[in-house]
């Protein structure tokens, strides 16, 4: 069986990818993750004794560790999920984003190049470096602008988006300069099980369940495209298996929603699943000062992946949201673990009681 080195695989999308990869028998997985505040080691506890899975705690910037892992496990592909990912945190303290997202990706590329150059011609041909990125690199759209395409110029607006754009450019350069067989994907907002509750959907679910305010930035009319995480993972595997090297693919849900609508939908589902007498969860909605430089609208044109591979998002937003909420309701221990003291302190420092 082939082996994939997955980096950042304890996080939201990486862990969903690994669970799917082991379930479907896509590959044996080596998972390199630093276990930052945004990851819960218990997320993948069910794979602890699975011989097809091996976890290594470490930083993608650790060149020696990378060299040893690559020599030892000889992966057919590297899938880079690693990043600092929360836009608000990137505004308050951008340094970690530059260090991990740009410098870390550079170190991973460099180690991959050295490894790839030493492979036999047949293995060199088969090797892939898949870099998982975001639609935020393209900047902000007006209501009438066409959706982002793969040839839309980069115009990142937040330190997070800029750090991801920097990493995308490095990946592209390693293909064009050194011939490293890279692939880049730019995906819209993901939602689903196991997402750290600083992101919009799990934050709103958990705040609502605990009777806390539901903070909505500005007028709540910022638009994002939402994709169920399992659909994203399938798209990544398809691209890995079938794409020509050096390609970029946009991945999206054809599902533009205002933040306000997303929160209203969550509240309506919770009114059904977790009802309280004479209480509507929407009464907790609170408009707060807008995020600085808040992009107004993202939309993804994913006709390229659809045309090349017949990929389409399968999960409908309402059913995906229902499944997501049911997962958070059924996994209170996971939630307690990620809402640890360290996380609570950070929220308190940066957001007060909000
Ligand atoms: P996440 O924040 O949930 O997980 C990131 C993981 O990376 C964590 O497990 C963390 O411990 C690990 N990590 C951070 N720094 C590290 C380092 N220096 N060395 C090793 N591990 C480190 O992120 P996510 O939401 O799963 O996103 C995964 C990737 O997908 C990111 O690159 C992100 O930019 C991209 N992406 C995310 C979304 C989304 O909606 N979540 C959408 C499009 C693209």
Check: CB of residue 251 under 8 Å from CB of residue 186: yes
Return the closest-CA partner of residue 23 out of 55, 54, 56, 50.
50
Q: Is the CB of 168 under 6 A from ligand 1?
A: no
User: Best mutation site among 83, 148, 224 for ligand 1, i.e. most ligand atoms within 8 A of its Cβ?
Assistant: 83
Q: Give the pLDDT confidence of 283-301 residue by residue, as tens digits.
A: 999 999 999 999 999 999 9
Report helix, strand or coil for 29: strand
Question: How far is the C-alpha of 336 from the C-alpha of 6, rounded, in Å?
Answer: 26
pLDDT (tens place) for every residue of the chain, 354 residues total: 899 999 999 999 999 999 999 999 999 999 999 998 888 888 999 999 999 999 999 999 999 999 999 999 999 999 999 999 999 999 999 999 999 999 999 999 999 999 999 999 999 999 999 999 999 999 999 999 999 999 999 999 999 999 999 999 999 999 999 999 999 999 999 999 999 999 999 999 999 999 999 999 999 999 999 999 999 999 999 999 999 999 999 999 999 999 999 999 999 999 999 999 999 999 999 999 999 999 999 999 999 999 999 999 999 999 999 999 999 999 999 999 888 776 666 666 765 554
Name residue, tokens 């190049």.
113
Spans of all domains in the chain: 3-191+229-254+294-315
Report helix, strand or coil for 338: helix
Angle at 126 between CA 80 and CA 110, to 5 degrees: 45
Question: How far is the C-alpha of 14 from the C-alpha of 40, rounded, in Å?
Answer: 12
Name residue, tokens 């945004």.
38
Return the closest-CA partner of residue 294 out of 91, 75, 22, 113.
91
Ligand 1 center to residue 283 CA distance, Å? 32
User: Cβ of 333: how many Cβ atoms within 10 Å?
Assistant: 8
Return the closest-CA partner of residue 97 out of 37, 163, 154.
163
First to last CA, the chain: 49
Q: Is the CB of 15 under 6 A from ligand 1?
A: no
Report helix, strand or coil for 114: helix
User: Best mutation site among 5, 7, 8 for ligand 1, i.e. most ligand atoms within 8 A of its Cβ?
Assistant: 8
User: Cβ of 280: how many Cβ atoms within 10 Å?
Assistant: 13
Report helix, strand or coil for 110: helix
Question: How far is the C-alpha of 140 from the C-alpha of 125, rounded, in Å?
Answer: 37
Check: CB of residue 12 under 8 Å from CB of residue 36: no
Fold type of domain 3-191+229-254+294-315: Rossmann fold (3.40.50)
Which atom of ligand 1 has the smallest separation from the CA of 39? Answer: 9
pTM, two decimals, is 0.96
pLDDT at 354: 44
pLDDT at 347: 60
Distances (CA, A) of 324 to 115, 194, 252, 331: 39, 9, 18, 11
pLDDT at 348: 66
pLDDT at 42: 87
Choose, from 53, 160, 174, 298, the residue flagged as catalytic: 160
Angle at 209 between CA 205 and CA 211, to 5 degrees: 115
- Is the ipTM higher than 0.95? The answer is yes
Which atom of ligand 1 has the smallest separation from the CA of 14? Answer: 26
User: Cβ of 86: how many Cβ atoms within 10 Å?
Assistant: 16
Beta pairing class for 285-288 and 53-57: unpaired
Check: CB of residue 193 under 8 Å from CB of residue 16: yes
Ligand 1 center to residue 128 CA distance, Å? 19
Q: H helices then E strands: how many in the chain?
A: 14, 12
Question: How far is the C-alpha of 47 from the C-alpha of 50, rounded, in Å?
Answer: 5
User: Best mutation site among 81, 97, 105, 168 for ligand 1, i.e. most ligand atoms within 8 A of its Cβ?
Assistant: 81
The half-sphere exposure of 51 on its side-chain side, counting CA atoms within 13 A, is 1
User: If you take atom 44 of ligand 1, which residue's CA is the nearest one?
Assistant: 134
Return the closest-CA partner of residue 14 out of 208, 325, 257, 236.
236
pLDDT at 47: 97
Establish whether 336 is a catalytic residue.
no
Q: Is the CB of 233 under 6 A from ligand 1?
A: no
Distances (CA, A) of 83 to 60, 61, 104, 224: 10, 12, 9, 20
Establish whether 160 is a catalytic residue.
yes
Establish whether 59 is a catalytic residue.
no
pLDDT at 175: 98
Q: Give the pLDDT confidence of 123-148 residue by residue, as tens digits.
A: 999 999 999 999 999 999 999 999 99
User: If you take atom 42 of ligand 1, which residue's CA is the nearest one?
Assistant: 189
């Amino acid at each position: 069986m082939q082996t994939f080195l997955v980096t950042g695989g304890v996080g939201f999308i990486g862990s969903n990818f690994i669970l799917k990869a082991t379930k479907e028998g896509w590959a044996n997985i080596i998972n390199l993750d630093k276990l930052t505040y945004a990851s819960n080691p218990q997320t993948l506890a069910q794979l602890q004794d699975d011989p097809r899975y091996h976890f290594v705690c470490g930083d993608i910037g650790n060149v020696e560790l990378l060299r040893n892992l690559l020599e030892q496990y000889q992966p057919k592909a590297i899938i880079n999920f690693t990043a600092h990912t929360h836009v608000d945190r990137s505004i308050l303290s951008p340094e970690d984003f530059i260090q991990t997202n740009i410098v870390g990706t550079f170190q991973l590329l460099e180690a991959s190049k050295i490894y790839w150059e030493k492979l036999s011609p047949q293995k060199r041909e088969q090797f892939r470096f898949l870099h998982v990125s975001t639609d935020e690199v393209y900047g902000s759209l007006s209501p009438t602008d066409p959706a982002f395409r793969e040839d839309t110029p980069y115009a990142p607006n937040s330190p997070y988006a800029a750090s991801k754009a920097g990493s995308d450019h490095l990946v592209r350069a390693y293909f064009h300069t050194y011939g490293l067989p890279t692939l880049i994907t730019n995906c819209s907002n993901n939602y689903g099980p196991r997402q750290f509750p600083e992101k919009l959907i799990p934050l709103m679910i958990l705040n609502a369940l605990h009777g806390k305010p539901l903070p909505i930035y500005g007028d709540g009319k910022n638009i994002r495209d939402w994709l169920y995480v399992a659909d994203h993972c399938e798209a990544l595997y398809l691209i890995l298996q079938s794409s020509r090297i050096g390609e970029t693919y946009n991945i999206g849900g054809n599902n533009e929603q205002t933040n306000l609508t997303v929160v209203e939908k969550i509240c309506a589902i919770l009114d059904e699943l977790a009802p309280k007498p004479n209480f509507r969860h929407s009464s907790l909605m609170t408009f707060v000062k807008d995020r600085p430089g808040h992009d107004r609208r993202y939309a993804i044109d994913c006709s390229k992946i659809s045309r090349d591979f017949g990929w389409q998002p399968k999960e409908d937003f309402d059913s995906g949201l229902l499944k997501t909420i049911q997962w958070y309701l059924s996994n209170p221990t996971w939630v307690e673990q990620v809402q640890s003291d360290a996380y609570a302190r950070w929220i308190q420092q940066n957001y007060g009681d909000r």
